[in-house]
Amino acid sequence: MRIESMLFKQKKFFTRLRPAVCGTAVFLAFMLALPAMTVKTTGVAGALWGEMSVQAASAAEAPAAAPAAAPAAAPAKKDEKAAAKAEKGPEEYKPITPPKLELKDYPKIKGFNSRITVWFIAQLHLFFGAFVLGVPIFVWVIEAVGYKTKDERYDNMAHEFMKVAMTGFSLAASFGGLLSIALVVFYPHFMQYMASVFGKVMIYYALFFFVESFFVYTYYYGWDKMSSGKDKLIHLGLGIGLNGAGLMLMALSNSWAAFMMAPSGLDESGAFAGDVWAAMHSHLWNPLNIHRFIANIAYGGSLTASYAAFKFLTANTPEEKAHYDWMGYTSFFVSMFGMLPLPFAGYWLMKEVYDYSQQMGITLMGGAFAWLFILQAVLIGAIFLSANYYLWCSLGRSNGSARYTFMIKPMAVIIVTAFLMWLTPHTLVMTSQEITKIGGAHHPLLGKFGVMAAKNTAVNTLIIMTFCSFQIFKRSNIRATGKGFWAQYGTTVQIGLYVAALTNIFFLGIWSYYIPASTRIGLSVPQVTTTLMVAVLSSVFDVFIFKSNEELGPPKWGSMPVRSQYALFTLTVAFTWLMGLMGYVRSAIRQHWHIYTVFRDNSADAFTPTLPYAAAIVTGIVCIFIALVLFMFWMPILASKGNGAEEH
By CB under 8 A, name the binding residues for another protein: 66-72, 310, 313-314, 316, 357-360, 362-363, 366-368, 370-371, 374-375, 378-379, 382, 427, 429, 516-518, 566, 569-570, 573-574, 577, 588, 591-593, 596-597, 601, 606-612, 614-616, 618-619, 622-623, 626-627, 630, 633-634, 637-638, 641
| Other beta carbons less than 10 A from residue 242's beta carbon | 26
Half-sphere exposure of 428 (CA within 13 A, CB side): 19
Minimum distance, C-beta of residue 622 to another protein, in the bound complex (Å):
6
d(CA 115, CA 103): 14
Contact 555, 398 (CB under 8 A): yes
Nearest residue to 34 via CA among 203, 211, 258:
203
Minimum distance, C-beta of residue 639 to another protein, in the bound complex (Å):
12
Contact 212, 170 (CB under 8 A): no
Cα 268 → chain centroid: 34
Minimum distance, C-beta of residue 461 to another protein, in the bound complex (Å):
23
Minimum distance, C-beta of residue 189 to another protein, in the bound complex (Å):
17
Between 289 and 572, CB nearer to another protein? 572
Kindly report the three-state secondary structure assignment for every residue of 520-535: HHHCHHHHHHHHHHHH
Between 42 and 432, CB nearer to another protein? 432
d(CA 289, CA 536): 23
Contact 148, 1 (CB under 8 A): no
Minimum distance, C-beta of residue 422 to another protein, in the bound complex (Å):
15
Between 241 and 609, CB nearer to another protein? 609
Nearest residue to 162 via CA among 212, 211, 229, 223:
223
Contact 103, 111 (CB under 8 A): no
Nearest residue to 160 via CA among 223, 111, 204, 108:
223
Amino acid type, 81:
K
Minimum distance, C-beta of residue 611 to another protein, in the bound complex (Å):
5
Between 220 and 373, CB nearer to another protein? 373
d(CA 369, CA 233): 49
Exposure class string for 581-590: b at 16+ Cβ within 10 A, else e: bbbbbbbbbb
d(CA 72, CA 57): 23
d(CA 135, CA 303): 9
Cα 173 → chain centroid: 17
Between 348 and 498, CB nearer to another protein? 348
Cα 479 → chain centroid: 39
Between 314 and 503, CB nearer to another protein? 314
Minimum distance, C-beta of residue 578 to another protein, in the bound complex (Å):
9
Q: How far is CA 267 from CA 70, 80, 163, 274, in A?
A: 11, 8, 48, 10
Contact 352, 283 (CB under 8 A): yes
Between 139 and 573, CB nearer to another protein? 573
d(CA 185, CA 106): 9
Q: What is the DSSP string of 287-326?
A: HHHHHHHHHHHHHHHHHHHHHHHHHHHT--SHHHHHHHHH
Minimum distance, C-beta of residue 368 to another protein, in the bound complex (Å):
4
Between 371 and 485, CB nearer to another protein? 371
Between 67 and 237, CB nearer to another protein? 67
Minimum distance, C-beta of residue 597 to another protein, in the bound complex (Å):
4
Burial class (CB in 10 A: 0-12, 13-18, 19+), 348: middle
Minimum distance, C-beta of residue 80 to another protein, in the bound complex (Å):
17
Amino acid type, 371:
W
Minimum distance, C-beta of residue 203 to another protein, in the bound complex (Å):
31
Between 489 and 607, CB nearer to another protein? 607
Between 83 and 574, CB nearer to another protein? 574
Between 74 and 290, CB nearer to another protein? 74
Between 371 and 489, CB nearer to another protein? 371
> Residue 550: enclosing H or E segment and its boundaries?
strand 550-551
d(CA 314, CA 300): 21
| Other beta carbons less than 10 A from residue 93's beta carbon | 16
Minimum distance, C-beta of residue 78 to another protein, in the bound complex (Å):
17
Minimum distance, C-beta of residue 451 to another protein, in the bound complex (Å):
10
